[in-house]
Structure 1
Amino acid sequence: MSEEEVKQQNIDQELEKSEVSEESQAKSHGEILKEQICEGRKIYTLSTSSVLMSSFTAGLELGFSYMMLCSMFYFFSDYLPETSLFKIIALVYPLGFILVVLGQSILFTEQTSLLTLPVLNRKHGLGSLLRIWGLVILGNLIGGWLIAFVMLWLGPQLHIFDTETIVKIGNHVADFSLPTILVSAILAGWMMGLLSWLVTSSKDTVSRIIIIFLITATMAFAGLHHSIIGNIEVFSAYLLGPEITLGRYLWVQSTALLGNAVGGAFFVALLKYRAFVNNVS
């Protein structure tokens, strides 16, 4: 047996020792890592149609965040300056994420680190990772496009927001240089990876809701680029206004996806995994 194989066997043995204790108030690093790897491996066993349907559902459900942030922006537009409006929408931004995470739909940014861990643990290959990432992204984007069309029609019909609000929000997301969007998206992916890690570490629903709210509200307040809800925001503005061209939409979207992937895979999955295995002899 090679040195690498011995090392991997030791890592697997250490993970097997990481059993969750009901008496313990907090899970250990190994317990969280083991649960994350197990959850990630379950997704790899799902059929293609199941992954697509679940990720499509996640894209749709994030539309509720979009509906609420547009509604709040529109409602307070006569009372607050625009700079303040882009901050207070952070209060309703978490809604869709709470629905997705607690409902266990497959969201790319939440699952990025989760799906990377089985590859780092040598249970799946890089090709399998890229394939399932592609399926999840496709489902999330299609769900986002569909809910964008629904909201474009429904918002003005219900008088909860208008087309001007949609264009302002989309332009606000897209109106940055690509390097800025990339670094912003890396931070957002990092935070979403930590969200997945912290949700696994918690033992009750209330704690999970608080974690989701704090992390996603922080992302919204800081204006970090999240590729899936950002897809809805920028795509909607592209459909309505000349400010965002198809090329600009595609560049913003692809840059945000790349940044989110790097943030979740490297800054969470790789670093958390290496922090564990470096203690394994």
Structure 2
Amino acid sequence: MNKNNEEEEKKKKQEKVDQEIDGSDQQQDGTKTKSHGEILKQQIIEGCETYDRSWSSILLSSFTAGLEIGFSFLMLATLHHFASGYFAEEVVFKLMAFVYPLGFILVIMGQSILFTEQTSLLTLPVLSNKRSLGSLFRIWGLVILGNLVGGLLIALTLVWVGPKLAIFTELDIEKIGLHMVEYEVFTILVSAILAGWLMGLLSWLVTSSKETVGEIIVIYLITALMGFTGLHHSIIGNIEIFSAMLVSPEITILEYIQTLVVILAGNAIGAVFFVALLKYRAFVFNVKMP
């Protein structure tokens, strides 16, 4: 009997939460900041819209994102090549943070599906009982597959064309890749969790923005922070490490796969726990039952 009462209470609580979210209408005054409920409502709606897309559309959009984020790697390698003669190596890697956001801006503003930017967004419909956990894992699988395949293709292209155009060398590619894998597994995991956390916040803040310029500034600041601190991002990291593996014997395929899996796991944990779960539960705890 107690179990039935608990289930009934949970059902009533969820219905009340849904009512509060659905009642979170956008402010008429465009100068006012969106409320927590408004952002949450929009994120859930956008997440559900992604679930409702065909698998071929999701796969193609995520494949496109994997290609487009490669332009960040193009700029990283080019800047590394031309700045290395003027600055110390550690300074060059800090300067690279200023061009790191380019691919992210192209992907997010172009509405392509990027795993880390969509991780918390796709989790919210599950937390609000609008989609199942199984459907979440299926859509994650499609997005990751598309992102990685697109990244591998652009990596193959850039590794060939960069030296041909003399904008960077294989040595530049190797140094960037080694910079990603030179840490212990646990260090990479924690770094990836922080990166996933930031990407989840990026998604939340982009939704809260009212203008395109504001969205671009948010994307630039957060991804530049990731680049400056060297946090591990799975999708561009896939390109960096795979490219280095192609030109350097110091990175094995086993090391590439292991590092990529750890980063993917860390990114997912950071976005799901520190953004989706905490933001959603903070709203739920504020809902008062009559």
TM-score calculated relative to the size of structure 2: 0.96
Matches of 1:227 and 1:22, distance apart in 2: 39
Which residue pairs with 1:61 in the alignment?
Answer: 68
List aligned pairs for 1:219-230, cutoff 5 A: 219-230=226-237
- Identify which of 124, 135, 139 aligns with 2:131: 124
Which residue pairs with 1:42 in the alignment?
Answer: 49
Matches of 1:25 and 1:95, distance apart in 2: 29
Aligned residues: 281
Which residue pairs with 1:146 in the alignment?
Answer: 153
1:4 partner letter: K
Shift of 1:22: 3.0
Which residue pairs with 1:202 in the alignment?
Answer: 209
Matches of 1:42 and 1:70, distance apart in 2: 36
Matches of 1:75 and 1:239, distance apart in 2: 22
Which residue pairs with 1:248 in the alignment?
Answer: 255
Which residue pairs with 2:122 in the alignment?
Answer: 115
Which residue pairs with 1:167 in the alignment?
Answer: 174
- Identify which of 249, 252, 259 aligns with 2:266: 259
1:121 partner letter: S
Matches of 2:80 and 2:114, distance apart in 1: 25
- Identify which of 198, 202, 220 aligns with 1:213: 220
1:30 partner letter: G
**1:51 and 2:58 matched:** yes
Matches of 1:125 and 1:84, distance apart in 2: 46
Shift of 1:26: 0.3
TM-score calculated relative to the size of structure 1: 0.99
- Identify which of 11, 36, 45 aligns with 2:17: 11
Matches of 1:116 and 1:250, distance apart in 2: 25
Matches of 1:242 and 1:69, distance apart in 2: 21
- The DSSP-based 3-state class of the residue aligned with 1:2 is helix
2:86 partner letter: Y
1:258 partner letter: A
Matches of 2:170 and 2:51, distance apart in 1: 40
Matches of 2:117 and 2:286, distance apart in 1: 27
Matches of 1:86 and 1:78, distance apart in 2: 13
Matches of 2:150 and 2:280, distance apart in 1: 32
Which residue pairs with 2:3 in the alignment?
Answer: none
Shift of 1:54: 0.3
2:258 partner letter: W
Larger Rg over CA atoms: 2
1:103 partner letter: G
Matches of 1:126 and 1:175, distance apart in 2: 35
Matches of 1:148 and 1:248, distance apart in 2: 17
Matches of 2:84 and 2:156, distance apart in 1: 23
- Identify which of 130, 133, 139 aligns with 2:140: 133
Shift of 1:181: 0.4
- Identify which of 67, 78, 88 aligns with 2:85: 78
Shift of 1:30: 0.2
Over aligned residue pairs, what C-alpha RMSD do you find? Answer: 0.8
Matches of 2:69 and 2:144, distance apart in 1: 14
Identity of aligned residues (%): 63
- The DSSP-based 3-state class of the residue aligned with 1:113 is helix
1:234 partner letter: I
- The DSSP-based 3-state class of the residue aligned with 1:132 is helix
Shift of 1:63: 0.5
